[in-house]
Amino acid sequence: MTGIVRHNGHFEWDGVHRLAYKEEGTHFKQVTRQVLSKAFPGLFAELRYFEVAPGGHSTLERHEHAHLVLIGRGGGHCLVGGEVSAVTPLDAVIIPPQTWHQFRATGTEPLGFFCVVARERDRPQLPSSEDLEALSADPAIKDFIRV
Amino acid sequence: MTGIVRHNGHFEWDGVHRLAYKEEGTHFKQVTRQVLSKAFPGLFAELRYFEVAPGGHSTLERHEHAHLVLIGRGGGHCLVGGEVSAVTPLDAVIIPPQTWHQFRATGTEPLGFFCVVARERDRPQLPSSEDLEALSADPAIKDFIRV
């Protein structure tokens, strides 16, 4: 047991498969998921790497569990709560409980990011039409979100 | 609340101070600590960035809580359990509960790594003389560890 999950270049790791972002749904576009900690299922948390292809986006969602995110490659924008921000490598993004969030690869590069979550966590909630209306009260958010 | 902790170059972040690795002790050498998630103290976990200067090392220790580590810059070696391994950027290092571990910047570069821990966690245990004797049964480990 070395504990090492070896990066083998191009944001891939030995023994880690590139998976679909989620098993089902149409609320996201061109996102892959790799679970770097998958050989250690009993830990308090999971370390994942997500990559959004140019033009793609993660799901607009919120949930009780928090995310600790570290941008790994490329760039793009994210919504966290009431703000849309540009992100570049080594920026950290903290997503507190019950905070609407979405990542988009808005440029010509992919947006790759590491994301730690608690192993035991609630299911994400999608926005209702009322939620979308409230979010869209801010023109910058209205313009940004993809559902 | 943007959630963004902005990297401002050279592995430093806006509003985040470079701190001593630990408040006290002599079981480590030339290590700094930055708590990227410090503005979000209520989360389930903390995101920290540690940097070990060339020739330095973290404490040889174990504890009940786990570490999820991502190597960020430079290189070096780490002990996890019964193995000493070289590490380079983007390698992940998973340190399960009660596993002896130590990081050393063994080359001419610093060794920088991100480390996620649970907010509520036990205090690290230092090795007893019996522990050191047991670890030193393996010549590679005996050669590597610094106490």
* CATH for A57: 2.60.120.10
Taking residue B127's Cβ as centre, other Cβ atoms within 10 Å add up to: 20
Owning domain of residue B130: 26-144
- Residue B48 counted as domain residue: yes
pLDDT of residue A28: 81
Mean pLDDT of chain A: 95
Mean pLDDT of A46-67: 97
Q: What is the pLDDT of residues B5-14, one digit of tens each?
A: 999 999 999 9
* pLDDT band, very low/low/confident/very high, at A24 (cuts 50, 70, 90): low
pLDDT at B23 over 70: no
Number of domains present in the structure of chain B: 1
- Residue B97 counted as domain residue: yes
* pLDDT band, very low/low/confident/very high, at A12 (cuts 50, 70, 90): very high
Query: Is B115 noted as a catalytic residue in this protein?
Result: yes
- Residue A103 counted as domain residue: yes
State how far the Cα of B141 lies from the Cα of B147, in Å rounded to an integer. Answer: 12
Residues of chain A contacting B, Cβ within 8 Å: 1-7, 11, 13, 36-37, 39-40, 42-45, 47, 65-66, 68, 70, 72, 78, 80-83, 85, 87-96, 99, 101, 114, 116, 118
Mean pLDDT of B128-139: 97
Chain B residues in contact with A45 (beta carbon < 8 A): 44-45, 66, 68, 116, 118
- Residue B122 counted as domain residue: yes
Kindly give the residue spans of alpha helices, DSSP state H, lying in chain A.
129-135, 139-144
Q: Which of A11, A45, A66 sits opposite B68 (nearest CB)?
A: A45
Mean pLDDT of B102-126: 97
- Residue B82 counted as domain residue: yes
Mean pLDDT of B77-98: 97
Q: Which of A2, A88, A116 sits opposite B68 (nearest CB)?
A: A116
More confidently predicted of A139 and A2: A139
Q: Which helix or strand (DSSP H or E) is residue A43 part of? A: none
- Residue A4 counted as domain residue: no
Find out whether B93 and B80 touch, Cβ atoms under 8 Å: yes
Find out whether A76 and A87 touch, Cβ atoms under 8 Å: yes
Mean pLDDT of chain B: 95
Mean pLDDT of B108-115: 97
Contact A85 B2 (CB under 8 A): yes
Chain B residues in contact with A8 (beta carbon < 8 A): none
- Residue A98 counted as domain residue: yes
Mean pLDDT of B93-106: 98
Q: Read off the tokens for B16.
A: 């985040």
Radius of gyration of chain B (CA): 15
For residue B85, the cross-strand partners are B78
pLDDT at A23 over 70: no
* pLDDT band, very low/low/confident/very high, at A37 (cuts 50, 70, 90): very high
Which residue from B minimizes the CA distance to A94? Answer: B3
Mean pLDDT of A104-113: 97
Mean pLDDT of A23-50: 90
Nearest to A67 by CA among A97, A39, A38, A90: A97
Q: What is the pLDDT of residues A72-94, one digit of tens each?
A: 999 999 999 999 999 999 999 99
Chain B residues in contact with A66 (beta carbon < 8 A): 40, 43-45
Taking residue B117's Cβ as centre, other Cβ atoms within 10 Å add up to: 19
* pLDDT band, very low/low/confident/very high, at B21 (cuts 50, 70, 90): confident
pLDDT of residue A29: 86
Which residue from A minimizes the CA distance to B95? Answer: A3
Find out whether A94 and B37 touch, Cβ atoms under 8 Å: yes
- Residue B14 counted as domain residue: no
Contact B91 A116 (CB under 8 A): no
pLDDT of residue B29: 86
